[in-house]
Amino acid sequence: MKRFRAILLCSGLLVLPLYAQAESESSNLVVSGFGTLGLVHNSNDDYGFVRDIGQRTEPGKNTSLQTDSMLGLQLSYSLSPQWQFLGQVRARDQADNTLANSVTRAFVAYRPDPNLHFRLGRMADATFLMSDYLEVGYAFPWVRPPLESYGIIAMRYYDGIDVTYSLPQSGGVWRLKAMGGRIKASIPQSPPIQDYSLEGNDLWGLALIHERGPLKVRVGYTSFHLEKESTGALFVEPSLNALIANPLAGLLFPAAVAEARELRDDLQMKGARISFASAGFAYDDGRWMLQGEVSKLSSETMLFPRGEQAYLSAGYRFGNFLPYVMVSGSRAESIKRAKADWSGIPLGSLLQSGTLTLLNSQRSAQTTTSLGVRWDFHSQAALKLQLDHVRVRNQGWGLWSSGATSDPGAGRVNVLSSTLDFVF
């Protein structure tokens, strides 16, 4: 927390002198930024509310200024009409608050002709409709992107290369983007399990984008393989291996040993393929705002979130006010349940239940109904107020920060949020 505050303060203090320097020294250097000051209240005492799975909030801490608050600074330098350099640093509450993880954009771009664009460095993933501006609160109408679709995304950037080909057509434009590289992110775990360092060195993806007037459509796909085993599996895997290797257990409890072998395979993360697929649209003609998206997260391991997600939102502007409604939801695969009786094995029931709890902990199964209003009181600032009513299904708390005594049963939660979003 102290490190987050220090980065946030230093970033804010740097803005004005850098902006003045940019204006006075070079018209090719552009300094800009974005920020959010947010307050959120969660009615649930057993589960902490987080903006995405990269955050950790202690259960029982119902009101927070940290969850949505952030500050970003961006510098762009045009060496020529073909060459551009861009860097972006952002401060927010997250599990890994190192400086390296706070640099979210750092790339060189080359445009040999108006329809072809190359970039090399650190960039945003292209899979989702709002991937390019996921943390710029001013850019989307709600307090935050829907948790079911965007809170489950671990990667905020990747290091590599992308190529975009644009084809203007009939008053609009088609864009095809291909990307490849590596990903690294930190995903917090419930104590005493250490945070998981997600790494994938073979990330690739494609996105097809169409923009015409007030309409934008995007279809995207990204895939990579996990490079590391789960930190959580270290607590139960040795005991499972010991049970599997015990010849007496295999003779007396063959069903339990067979299930232990299956559970051990479900725990494996290294080498597991992860993929994201998404299709979405956004329409905004200055009066009506309509936006929706469906996505699917596939995983070869149960220790990584998987399932389907979707949301649909509508709003209508009255002057500077935009009241809106949104319905979003996530659906997970079936709960992993016990198949055999382990009670005859010393500490067997505890090992079985602990392993099943670990495997089911990543399930996201919930539905959210949101009502809110956005007030654009300034050309570069907006105030938002939003109420979320969340219905979480049994063992579907994968998007929440849990504690050792958290009850995984179904529940209902009300979340009240307010943000001040701005750009400069």
Number of domains in the chain: 1
| pLDDT of the residue at 253 | 94
Distances (CA, A) of 186 to 5, 55, 179, 305: 19, 9, 22, 14
Q: Could you say which DSSP state residue 423 is in?
A: E
Single out the residue of 408, 399, 413, 360 nearest to residue 152, CA to CA: 399
| pLDDT of the residue at 96 | 80
Q: Which domain holds residue 163?
A: 2-36+62-134+147-363
Residues in the chain: 424
**Other CB atoms closer than 10 Å to residue 136's CB: what's the count?**
19
Residue 236 contacts residue 347 (beta carbons within 8 Å): no
pTM over 0.85: yes
In a domain, 355, yes or no: yes
Residue 388's beta-bridge partner residues?
Answer: 370, 415
Q: Could you say which DSSP state residue 318 is in?
A: B
Low-confidence ranges of the chain (pLDDT < 70): 1-26
Q: What are phi and psi of 38, to 5 degrees?
A: -125, 150
Residue 186's beta-bridge partner residues?
Answer: 197
| pLDDT of the residue at 15 | 40
In a domain, 287, yes or no: yes
| pLDDT of the residue at 332 | 94
Q: Could you say which DSSP state residue 131 is in?
A: G
Q: Give 400: exposed, middle or buried? Use CB within 10 Å, 0-12, 13-18, 19+.
A: buried
| pLDDT of the residue at 26 | 53
In a domain, 299, yes or no: yes
In a domain, 308, yes or no: yes
SS3 65: coil
In a domain, 48, yes or no: no
Residue 233 contacts residue 267 (beta carbons within 8 Å): yes
Residue 343 contacts residue 363 (beta carbons within 8 Å): no
Please report, for the domain that includes residue 156, its CATH number: 2.40.160
Single out the residue of 162, 351, 169 nearest to residue 256, CA to CA: 351
Single out the residue of 352, 179, 146, 180 nearest to residue 257, CA to CA: 352
In a domain, 388, yes or no: no
SS3 196: strand
In a domain, 74, yes or no: yes
In a domain, 226, yes or no: yes
Which amino acid, residue 225?
Answer: H
